[in-house]
Amino acid sequence: MSLPQITARIDAACAKADRSPAEVTLIAVSKVQPPERVEAVLAAGHRSFGENRVQEAQGKWPAWLDAFRGTELHLLGPLQSNKVRAAMDLFHAIHSIDRPKIARRIADIAQETGDCPALFLQVNTGEEDQKAGIPPREADAFIRDVRAMDLPIAGLMCIPPADETPSLHFALLAKIAARNGVAGLSMGMSADFEQAIALGATHIRVGSAIFGDRVAA
């Protein structure tokens, strides 16, 4: 697979869903990828990338962000409270806001600096013990709490259980977003992004299908 092939699949999925491809942001997940692979995708003109760890991103992205203007960096992995300031300095969007403590820390820094990345609240649609995110039954209250902190919510994010039908989880996330007036839906990965687009995804996260198999950290 390659970036043009993924783009063609996105276009086809959007056409089938009667949506414009401009409504869907393809986040190229570059975590633990060799620099030459990332640079090749940057050189091809792609400008939205995702990383899972703040520290890893700090080690490689500042130079690329300077060299490739207009690039947006998305934090997809869990965010620790001691990494919030660094994440807000580097990332244009954070997709893993999953508890009030992190939201409050972001709000405090945003008030101090006058700047804030786009924020996506992570919902644990499968209610898996090992996975981060707010349980669906608590999502409405969490959205209200985050808004009460004067934080803009760009969207919701989910990662469906590996052994369940992803479209059920995408539909649940879309339902929660709709009833709370949240526009963005970060959902869908390499194996299921067409289903996510059909159910309203605005951001899809694709890694190995663009870059090839990940290199172990």
82-97 pLDDT tens trace: 999 999 999 999 999 9
- pLDDT grade for 171, boundaries at 50, 70 and 90: very high
For residue range 13-58, list pLDDT tens digits in order: 999 999 999 999 999 999 989 999 999 999 999 999 999 999 999 9
CATH number at residue 126: 3.20.20.10
86 burial (CB, 10 Å; 0-12 / 13-18 / 19+) is middle
Measure the CA–CA gap between 73 and 27, rounded to whole angstroms.
Answer: 9
- Which residues, in sequence order, are bridge partners of residue 121? 97, 156
E strands along 81-217, which residues? 93-97, 118-122, 153-157, 184-186, 203-206
For residue 149, give both structure tokens.
């902190």
For residue 14, being part of any structural domain is answered with: yes
Give pLDDT, residue 1.
62
Give pLDDT, residue 26.
98
Give pLDDT, residue 106.
98
The chain-wide mean pLDDT, for the chain, equals 95
For residue range 109-133, list pLDDT tens digits in order: 999 999 999 999 999 999 999 999 9
For residue 216, being part of any structural domain is answered with: no
Give pLDDT, residue 101.
96
Q: Work out the angle between the directed axes of helices 54-67 and 35-43 (0-180°, nearest 10).
A: 40
For residue 177, being part of any structural domain is answered with: yes
For residue 217, being part of any structural domain is answered with: no
pTM: 0.95
For residue 46, give both structure tokens.
């792609």
- pLDDT score of 217 more than 70: no
For residue 187, being part of any structural domain is answered with: yes
For residue 185, being part of any structural domain is answered with: yes
For residue 40, being part of any structural domain is answered with: yes
For residue 18, being part of any structural domain is answered with: yes
Give pLDDT, residue 2.
87
Coil, helix or strand at residue 205: strand
- pLDDT score of 216 more than 90: no
- pLDDT score of 214 more than 70: no
- pLDDT grade for 208, boundaries at 50, 70 and 90: confident
Among 117, 113, 162, 122, residue whose Cα is nearest residue 143: 122
Domain that holds residue 205: 3-211
**Contact in structure between 51 and 217 (CB atoms under 8 Å):** no
The stretch 184-193 carries a mean pLDDT of: 96
For residue 10, give both structure tokens.
């996105």
Total domains, the chain: 1
Higher pLDDT, 1 or 81: 81
For residue range 135-166, list pLDDT tens digits in order: 999 999 999 999 999 999 999 999 999 999 99
